[in-house]
A and B are shown apart, each in its own frame.
Chain A
Amino acid sequence: MSIFYFIAFLSILFAVLVISAKNPVHSILYLVLTFFTFTIQYILLNAQFLAIVNFIVYMGAILVLFLYTLMLINLNKDSEPMKTNLVKIAAVLGGGCLLVVLVGALKVLGISQPVILKNPDLGLVKNLGKVLFNEFLLPFEVSSLLLLSAMVGAVLLATKDKKTTA
């Protein structure tokens, strides 16, 4: 349990550093560390497959792409556009709303019974695969359709100009 609290503390620390870091590249690197702590949490929960997928997909692919894009952007301070007051006020309002919701949610939160899995090995690959391809086959396939549509959309966006120019 003490490992959990330590890792949880680290996750929150790195998450705070993500938004407080001045340099965007640093903040991405803190995000990487945050995701790494999540991976450890998954391992502590005996969800090995989820842990490793989080590791590969988020840390290994998505954040590399984030870093990749950030490196290509000119990050000089003088090229940063000045935020208008309207944007600032909107940000304050949005953040305030989120805070209110969070506080409200925490207030009604009672201490529930800790969830005990019937099968503690549910997170292992074999069991997860069986569950995904039997019980949750429809949602699984629907989500894959969703990804397919996203891919088609990306291809469409990338080839749109050709018709107008050619």
Chain B
Amino acid sequence: MGTTDIIVKFILIVIIFLISLVVAMYSTYAERKIAAFFQDRLGPSRAGPFGILQPVADGTKMFLKEEIIPANSSKFLFIVGPSLAIMTACIGSAVIPWGQTLVIGSYHLDLQVTDINVGVLYLFGVVSLGVYGVMIGGWASNNKYSLLGAIRAASQNISYEIAMGLSIIALLMTTGTLSLKEIAAQQHGWHWNVVYQPLGFLIFIICAFAETNRSPFDLPECETELVGGYHTEYSSMKLGFYLFAEYINMFISSAVMSTLYFGGYNFPFMHSLGLSDNWVTILGVVALFAKIFFFIFFFMWVRWTIPRFRYDQLMDLGWKTLIPLAIANIVITGIVLTLIK
């Protein structure tokens, strides 16, 4: 790796980081706006035209609020919690292929930060780390509701990680690689994995809802039972970090779903349009983001449609339905693969 490579990678990382932050910021706005439309309201409309500056106003408010650290809390861990939450949310974007290679002059710019050959597992590891932020924050608050929220988050995440992993295994059996770049490249044109793995995708998306603590599985922050859940004691930007982490998680998991199952940057007829390679790459990035935004919209759509699960129902669904289904999916995939060969 030469110096230019390092600089280019650095710029790419900064851009991706900024994009995730901006997308997360505007997800908060989109969530409120979309929720309003689903409920026949208008949503935020005061800050700027159509309320477009609302996230800026929200952020400013968050920064200016008083910071409260509970007297009997473990102060260091109280600060570590939200930092960890937002950090684990951000590092997932490193292995996602945002596009193909751009050719600028003689330089080949790869629109992916790093292509490690265990990319899928890396994502999985990052997801499993995400729960630490919630747990540490919930425990350090020294509040029973926070603790209950943290415990719920932990058991929920661990339970659904299993089903998620099993659903990915079936996918990996068809793709034969762990590198996200290769998986994306395999789904050229219309050959999206969701066609071959519909059940796997269904399990994956349900688990993604549970892992990001989104409704209908948002039990760790269930207001009616736990006040604010794990972030009951948090205020100011530390609370903002937790909320922000949720939206970044949503963005990243949407990106992962698009990449794994919906072809990533591929779009139909991408090479029969007669465009130059660079244009195809740019359109591919646009296609990927269109898919991501669709999934973010879907997350919100589901949130305003389905009521929250009860805790035992959540565990029943995870252990008694999704895990057997995922195993059945693996078996079926295996049988079909052997028959085809």
The residues of A with any CB-CB pair to B shorter than 8 Å are: 23, 25, 29, 32, 48-49, 52-53, 55-56, 59-61, 64-65, 67-68, 71-72, 124-126
Contact = CB atoms under 8 A, between A and B. Distances in A.
12 contacts: A29-B136, A52-B124, A53-B121, A56-B125, A59-B125, A60-B124, A60-B131, A64-B157, A68-B154, A71-B135, A71-B139, A125-B118
Given A25-B139, A56-B121, A68 B129 contact: no
Nearest to B76: A26
A55 B117 contact: no
Contacts of B125: 52, 55-56, 59-60
A125 B150 CA distance: 34
B161 interface: yes
B30 interface: no
B150 A52 contact: no
Contact of A64 (B122, B124, B128): B128
B278 interface: no
A48 B117 contact: yes
A56 B135 contact: no
Interface in B98-152: 116-118, 121-122, 124-125, 127-129, 131-132, 135-136, 139, 147, 150-151
B128 A60 contact: yes
Contacts of B56: none
A71 B132 CA distance: 13
B117 A59 contact: no
Interface string B140-177: 00000001001100110110010000000000000000
A76 to B, nearest CB: 12
Contacts of A65: 154, 158
Contacts of A29: 77, 136
A67 B84 CA distance: 16
Given A49-B118, A124-B117, A60 B161 contact: yes
B244 to A, nearest CB: 22
A95 to B, nearest CB: 30
A14 to B, nearest CB: 15
Contact of A61 (B116, B128, B147, B151): B128
Given A56-B124, A64-B154, A68-B155, A48 B116 contact: yes
A87 to B, nearest CB: 29
B129 A59 contact: yes
Contacts of A125: 117-118, 178
Contacts of B129: 55, 59-60
B148 to A, nearest CB: 10
Given A48-B116, A68-B155, A71-B147, A59 B128 contact: yes
B117 A67 contact: no
A71 B151 contact: yes
Contacts of B154: 64-65, 67-68
Nearest to B130: A60
B113 to A, nearest CB: 16
Nearest to B119: A52
A68 B135 CA distance: 8
Given A61-B128, A71-B139, A125-B178, A52 B161 contact: no
A61 B155 CA distance: 10
Contacts of B150: 71
Nearest to B135: A67
A149 B108 CA distance: 53
Contacts of B161: 60-61
Contacts of B124: 52, 56, 60
Q: 9 tightest CB-CB pairs across the interface, nearest first?
A: A60-B128, A55-B125, A52-B121, A56-B125, A68-B154, A52-B118, A48-B118, A64-B154, A56-B128
A65 B118 CA distance: 25
B181 to A, nearest CB: 14
A135 B132 CA distance: 38
Contacts of B116: 48
B152 to A, nearest CB: 10
